[in-house]
Amino acid sequence: MEKIIDIEDRIPTLKERRRRRTNKKFSILLFLFVTTLLIVLYFQSSYSQIQKITLTGEKLVPKQLYIEDSTLTIGESMWSFNESKIENLVAGNAWVESVQVKREWLTTVHIQVNEFKQIGYLEDEDFLHIILENGQIIKTDGLVIPKDGPIFRDFKNEKIRLRMIKELKTLDSEVLRNISQINYTPTENDAYSIQVYMNDGNEVKAIIPSFGEKMSFYPSIVSQLNPEVKGIIDLEVGTFFQPYVDVYNVPIEEEIVENEED
């Protein structure tokens, strides 16, 4: 026989269900209200504003220049800018290879800059301008002390200069650091002829297209020479060495002293 449940017995259960539904709706509404209030308070507080801009990777130009290029300012909303747009603004500089902009913590924006490597210096009358590995020239307002790469002299032709840079990029860092200056000395027979001054006191005669390949053997070549005898290493066709005393008919040290006395 089917049991009949009195409606009065079910009233407490129905009331409990109704109460739970009401509490649930109230909790959701309360959560939405509190969340909205917190969001409003956040955007009206200093915690939603840029309080610090950090930048790393700069070597060629001052940090402040990059920050100015980014157009970011202290006090600006943390959410009012687009990272990609800022990256494109900073990457507009010819010496910048890549840029990454990130929001950090609540109030900091970090800019990571990757610059093209410096390959040498271009001599321009009394000035030395910086040459980058992509061929771009950064003009300086005054004299700079050459310390990161050789000086390029008479490389006014951009095509020739880019070809020289291509060869330098293939060299081992040890060999590259030993190069002090490269003079472009074209002849009727060869438009790519160069004269290279080394920090160890030797000179090298070479042609640009084969320079990288032949100069890779430079440490091995000088290891077979008398370190007390300096001279000219000719790499244009084969490889042979002439001491300065044979080329100039006078030891290089004596020549320098005589010039100073004059």
The pLDDT value given to residue 89? 96
Confidence of residue 143 (pLDDT cuts 50, 70, 90): low
Q: Which two tokens stand for residue 108?
A: 């900091």
pLDDT at 209: 96
The average pLDDT across 217-235 equals 94
Q: Are strands 137-138 and 193-198 parallel, antiparallel or unpaired?
A: unpaired
Predicted local confidence at residue 22, as pLDDT:
75
Mean pLDDT for the chain overall: 86
Give the number of other Cβ atoms within 10 Å of residue 140's Cβ: 14
Q: Which of 2-11, 44-53, 92-101 has the lowest mean pLDDT?
A: 2-11
Of the pLDDT bands very low, low, confident and very high (cuts 50, 70, 90), residue 35 is confident
Residues 162-181 have a mean pLDDT of 95
| Lookup: tokens for 103 | 């929001």
The reply to whether CATH 3.40.50.10960 applies to domain 118-261 is yes
**According to the model, what pLDDT value does residue 256 have?**
42
pTM of the complete model beyond 0.85: no
11 pLDDT band (50/70/90 cuts)?
low
- pLDDT score at 2: 54
For residue 254, the model assigns a pLDDT of: 47
Across 25-29, 175-179, 181-185, least confident range = 25-29
More confident residue, 18 or 51: 51
CATH superfamily of 47-115: membrane protein fhac (3.10.20.310)
CB 138 within 8 A of CB 132: yes
Using 50, 70 and 90 to split pLDDT, how confident is the model at 47?
Answer: confident
Q: Answer yes or no: is pLDDT of 260 > 50.
A: no
Beta-strand relationship, 127-132 and 118-124? antiparallel
The mean per-residue pLDDT over the stretch 222-232 comes to: 94
Contact assessment for residue 139 and residue 116, using Cβ atoms and an 8 Å cutoff: no
Indicate the pairing of strand 118-124 with strand 151-153: parallel
Is residue 246's pLDDT more than 70?
yes
Confidence of residue 257 (pLDDT cuts 50, 70, 90): very low
> Contact at 8 Å (CB) between 200 and 150?
no
Task: Give pLDDT, residue 36.
Answer: 78
